Amino acid sequence: MLVLGIDTSCDDTSASVVRDGRYALSNVVHSQIELHHPYGGVVPELASRAHLRNITPVVNEALLRAGVTLEDLDGIAVTIGPGLIGSLLVGLCYAKAISYVKNIPFVGINHLEGHILSIFLEEKVPDFPFIALTVSGGHTCLYAIYDFGKYKLLGKTLDDAAGEAFDKVAKVLGLGYPGGMEIEKSAKQGNPEKIKFPRSYLSKDSLDFSFSGIKTAIALFFKKWQKDSSLQKEICISDISASFQEAVVDVLVEKIRRAIKKTKIRNVVVAGGVACNTRLRHKLLKKFKGIDVYFPSPEFCTDNGAMIAVAGYHRLKKGERADLYTDARSRYPISDIK
């Protein structure tokens, strides 16, 4: 089965053709980093306008690279939420138009489900059940995954997502955008033990996350650092970056440990943009010896159409179909998936 996956949930316009929910024949992503860089974050109105310009050439390129035409497709999968509503509508309306004109069935996909199932684009895949951590600029959630379409939420962020904290701290430190990449680059030159920033573990058994506290701690420390020349001689920006990154990684690793202990599930998948972070990967693999930990390839960690096509494949296979009344949803918890 050939499925065209389309994702325009935030600031990347992406399309991919995937065969049988496993093999990405193409995966085209048009990044808007340069467009949003001057603002230090995504500007929703600019993002949706860019999607309008890019959606047709991106889909055409995905079909071309895959060596297929619209007539060869068995289905279309498109992200309907969560995300920026203006951006989501571009991809959804485009998918509806193709579906209507070419009489190709389509399904609306939860963006987080796409991240969870992105691991099935890899050669080595986990057995069910497994724990999934989706960690990105907009989301930080823990799930128990029992089968395709059977997900249980274990914990979620109560305020900022981890990726959002990276972006905001990078902006405070003057490192630029996107924050995750800049923080990691800076942290490689610093000492992660230099500053003991707070780790918010919440209650003893909590699987929820909170990153607003460390973001505030960084801002306060940086103000003090700017005014203290002796402190600047002792601690550099890279030390701050490394210490911040270490604090976030420690929390993510600890929450996964708690989830393993609670569920007795010994397979772990880490997906989403922050899953590209090398420090996070290193600490997880070091911490959980005897536990199988899986990471999607970097191209499938960030937002992409391939992961949406994988999720779409399994829903189309079950006979699910969307109609032209399907709408985009800025908030779309996995618990709402039927």
CATH, residue 59: 3.30.420.40
Whether residue 278 sits in one domain with residue 218: yes
Whether residue 103 sits in one domain with residue 52: yes
Whether residue 137 sits in one domain with residue 62: no
Amino acid at 257: R
User: Look-up: residue for tokens 């306060």?
Assistant: 220
Whether residue 161 sits in one domain with residue 244: yes
Write the pLDDT tens digit of every residue in 309-333. 999 999 999 999 999 999 999 998 8
Number of domains in the chain: 2
Residues of the chain under the 50 pLDDT cut: none
Whether residue 216 sits in one domain with residue 129: yes
- How far are the Cα atoms of 48, 181, 190, 255 from residue 177, in angstroms, in the given order? 19, 8, 19, 27
Whether residue 92 sits in one domain with residue 62: yes
- Picking from 159, 44, 125, the residue whose alpha carbon sits closest to that of residue 295 is 125
DSSP code string of 192-222:
TTSS-------STT---B--HHHHHHHHHHH
- Round to whole Å and give the CA distance between 143 and 237: 35
- How far are the Cα atoms of 113, 183, 217 from residue 37, in angstroms, in the given order? 28, 15, 25
Whether residue 260 sits in one domain with residue 242: yes
* Residue-level pLDDT at 338: 56
* Residue-level pLDDT at 177: 85
User: Look-up: residue for tokens 């991809």?
Assistant: 91
Q: Which domain holds residue 284?
A: 124-295
Strands 2-7 and 75-81, bridge-based pairing? parallel
pTM to 2 decimals?
0.94
337 near 151, Cβ under 8 Å? yes
